């Protein structure tokens, strides 16, 4: 290594920070944002900061042992509404931009989230999870309804969620709160899920999204609706043929833009586009129909939690165009489209732009950026000149200590000639002439993408002496609609061959790779593929499978998305074509597995439930062939490696490294106890 720098460690996660959710002030002179960190008690904390675009430092607006999020400026720029659990449940709070003590605005028993100011600054729309026995009038601290139930009658198929747990009869409802009095006006009700969108410029309507079809368990469309801000009248804008999100109003209030897709057959494996409704004529158009690129950020990382606020399509001041995020070939940036669908890139580069806020009149944007050396920082961008100024450098001290290798881009072909794309990290301290073990990493989704973003696990493996190969096989976003859908009905087919082609290409190009010491790892779909690979080949000498799938027959009925995910992605059901579900199940090949396999899974994972790991572990143990170890993480959901308990995340990284060290760095075959 050069100088005094060192490789990254698992424990360095406790020192990492990232900035997110930038929000420009109404006058465009300052930006509010969230800084997330892990404190000395090894718990997540997030605080609000304000940064003048001309100043050199950021000013903290909140502090303490709290998690504050979603800062939203009042229209006059004097106050900020935000979400915090400082009173116990997530509630809306107000604070003056000059500082002082925050004031609690809502006291809903089930909490409040997703604040959106009305144009006149007198009301804020928000959402809350309510059962039929709940109301917005129930106050925080009233726990009489939270007594454990002796029996639960399940009447819907979507009765659990990896994000929310068991929901049964709970639905997300929307209300409006008066900023001065705290009086709440409910806007939605019924057995439907609703999501807050945006106020019309005149303050009379709220654009929201919801699935309000007759059978939302079987018809998964999400439509855009207009709801009277005073309650009562509804208008449905879309045709219940797709999924739409993030509605935004044109400046004159005559049009509404939103992000989504419309397809009679593809709910999951389809690219999102920019759409628009003309409110006078009722006409709906797909603005970016002819542009074969994913709208939104599809990049996977492992430091920032997923689900950062998407601003949707942000209108220009003259109403003749929109700015939005999009993902191409491992990068995400900001693009502009005219109403005729002419798209140009505004903010690009080999990096991951995962959020932005815009002051179009001042030709200023603040972007949230990650790259292979940056977990998450903010930059100010002059939209007229393209000039950028870095506003934050929240990991300066930590990263000054670290040696982080630069990714090497790879272009190669699959067995059928399909162009493919990926990256390789050399080991930290690489020396020409030496041989190094390789770890192939496989992303989840499968409809997401690896890219030009920070990945702690990859840098950790490189610091431990491994070359790290990560690629985007068919099924990944960022390479066009046909590429996204190419794995559907073919899991373990050409997608598997794409990954093996990547390994073959890397071994042929880089003579420092020791082909006798290669490992493979992945989570979710990447865990499925890891399980599949070790049942097909012994080329890898160790494997780590996280929150994986091994049996599509059981997955169909136990996952929160199982029945419709399997029908679209595997194109089969237990009552329609059970043989096909079994054909694509890695456990079918368990007798072939000889690769030492580490299985890790969260016990509260509703996306890929832990019974998948249990099946695989017992089957392998019963055979007594391949060394296997099973690690369960109590309380952990499917998001363990991205937003889970900090200590569990570090343990998971340590277990991963220990497993590969045992079987790839040490010559002896040792089964870890």
Q: Which residues carry out catalysis? A: 524, 638
Helix, strand, coil fractions of the chain, as percent rounded to 5? 15, 35, 45
C-beta of residue 600 within 8 angstroms of C-beta of residue 546: yes
> How many CB atoms sit inside 10 A of residue 138's CB?
17
Phi, psi of 570 (to 5 degrees): -95, -20
Residues 6+ apart with CB under 8 A from 348: 331, 333
CA distance 463 to 450: 20
Element (H, E) at 117: strand 113-117
Nearest to residue 503, comparing CAs of 469, 459, 466?
469
C-beta of residue 612 within 8 angstroms of C-beta of residue 549: yes
Q: Which residues pair with 177 in a beta bridge?
A: 124, 184
Helices then strands (H, E): number in the chain? Answer: 11, 39
* Residue 175 vs residues 114, 120, 182, 228: alpha-carbon distances, Å: 11, 17, 12, 11
C-beta of residue 568 within 8 angstroms of C-beta of residue 267: yes
C-beta of residue 610 within 8 angstroms of C-beta of residue 630: no
- Token duo for residue 605: 């994972």
Specify whether the backbone of 297 is left (phi greater than 0), alpha (psi in -120 to 50) or beta.
beta
Alpha helices in 385-488 (DSSP H): 396-399, 456-463, 481-485
C-beta of residue 663 within 8 angstroms of C-beta of residue 545: no
Residue found under tokens 């597995």: 593
CA distance 191 to 628: 45
Nearest to residue 353, comparing CAs of 298, 398, 293?
298
Residue found under tokens 């499925």: 528
- Token duo for residue 508: 């042929």
> How many CB atoms sit inside 10 A of residue 635's CB?
11
Residues 6+ apart with CB under 8 A from 639: 162, 305, 306
């Amino acid at each position: 290594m050069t100088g005094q720098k060192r490789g990254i460690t698992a424990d360095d996660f406790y020192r990492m920070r990232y900035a997110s959710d930038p929000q420009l002030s109404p006058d465009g002179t300052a930006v509010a944002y969230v800084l997330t960190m892990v404190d000395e008690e090894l718990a997540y904390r997030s605080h609000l900061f304000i940064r003048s675009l001309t100043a050199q430092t950021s000013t903290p607006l909140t502090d303490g042992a709290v998690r504050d999020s979603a800062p939203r400026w009042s229209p006059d720029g004097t106050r900020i509404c935000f979400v915090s659990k400082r009173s116990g449940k997530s509630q809306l709070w107000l604070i003056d931009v000059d500082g002082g003590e925050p004031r609690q605005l809502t006291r809903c028993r089930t909490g409040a989230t997703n604040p959106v100011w009305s144009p006149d600054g007198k009301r804020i729309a928000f959402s809350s999870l309510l059962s039929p026995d709940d109301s917005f009038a129930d106050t925080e601290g009233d726990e009489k309804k939270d007594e454990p139930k002796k029996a639960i009658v399940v009447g819907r198929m979507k009765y659990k969620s990896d994000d929310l747990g068991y929901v049964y009869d709970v639905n997300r409802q929307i209300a409006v709160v008066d900023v001065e009095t705290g009086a709440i006006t409910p806007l939605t009700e019924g057995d439907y899920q609703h999501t807050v969108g945006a106020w019309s410029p005149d303050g009379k309507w709220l654009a929201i999204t919801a699935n309000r079809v007759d059978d939302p368990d079987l018809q998964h469309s999400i439509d855009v609706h207009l709801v009277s801000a005073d309650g009562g009248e509804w208008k449905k804008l879309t045709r219940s043929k797709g999924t739409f999100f993030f509605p935004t109003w044109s400046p004159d209030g005559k049009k509404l833009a939103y992000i989504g897709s419309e397809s009679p057959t593809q709910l999951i494996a389809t690219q999102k586009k920019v759409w628009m409704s003309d409110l006078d004529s009722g006409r709906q158009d797909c603005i970016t129909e002819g542009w074969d690129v994913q709208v939104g950020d599809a990049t996977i990382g492992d430091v920032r939690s997923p689900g950062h606020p998407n601003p949707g399509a942000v209108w220009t001041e003259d109403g003749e165009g929109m700015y939005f995020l999009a993902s191409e070939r491992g990068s995400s940036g900001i693009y502009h489209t005219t109403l005729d669908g002419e798209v140009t890139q505004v903010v690009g580069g080999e990096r991951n732009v995962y959020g932005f806020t815009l002051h179009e009149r001042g030709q200023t944007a603040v972007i949230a950026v990650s790259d292979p050396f940056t977990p998450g920082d903010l930059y100010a961008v002059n939209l007229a000149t393209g000039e950028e100024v870095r506003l934050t450098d929240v990991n300066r001290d930590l990263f000054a200590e670290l040696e982080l290798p630069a990714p090497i881009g790879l272009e190669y072909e699959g067995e059928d000639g399909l162009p493919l794309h990926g990256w390789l990290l050399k080991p930290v301290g690489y020396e020409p002439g030496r041989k190094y073990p390789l770890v192939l990493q496989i992303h989840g989704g499968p409809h997401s993408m690896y890219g030009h973003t920070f990945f702690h696990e990859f840098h950790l493996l490189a610091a431990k002496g491994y070359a790290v190969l990560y690629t985007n096989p068919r099924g990944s976003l960022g390479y066009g609609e046909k590429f996204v859908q190419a794995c559907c009905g073919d899991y373990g087919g050409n997608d598997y061959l794409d990954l093996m082609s990547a390994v073959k290409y890397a071994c042929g190009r880089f003579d420092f790779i020791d082909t006798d010491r290669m490992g493979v790892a992945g989570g979710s779909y990447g865990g499925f593929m890891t399980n599949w690979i070790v049942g097909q080949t012994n080329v890898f000498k160790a494997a780590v499978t996280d929150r994986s799938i091994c049996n599509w027959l059981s997955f169909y009925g136990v996952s929160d998305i199982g029945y419709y995910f399997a029908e679209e992605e595997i194109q089969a059901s237990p009552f329609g074509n059970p043989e096909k579900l079994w054909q694509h199940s890695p456990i079918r090949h368990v007798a072939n597995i000889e690769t030492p396999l580490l299985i890790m899974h969260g016990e509260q994972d509703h996306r890929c439930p832990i019974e998948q790991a249990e099946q695989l572990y017992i089957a392998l143990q019963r055979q007594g062939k391949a060394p296997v170890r099973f690690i369960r993480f109590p309380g952990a959901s499917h998001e363990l490696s991205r937003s889970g308990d900090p200590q569990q995340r570090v343990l998971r990284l340590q277990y991963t490294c220990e497993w590969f060290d045992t079987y790839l760095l040490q010559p002896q075959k040792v089964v870890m106890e």
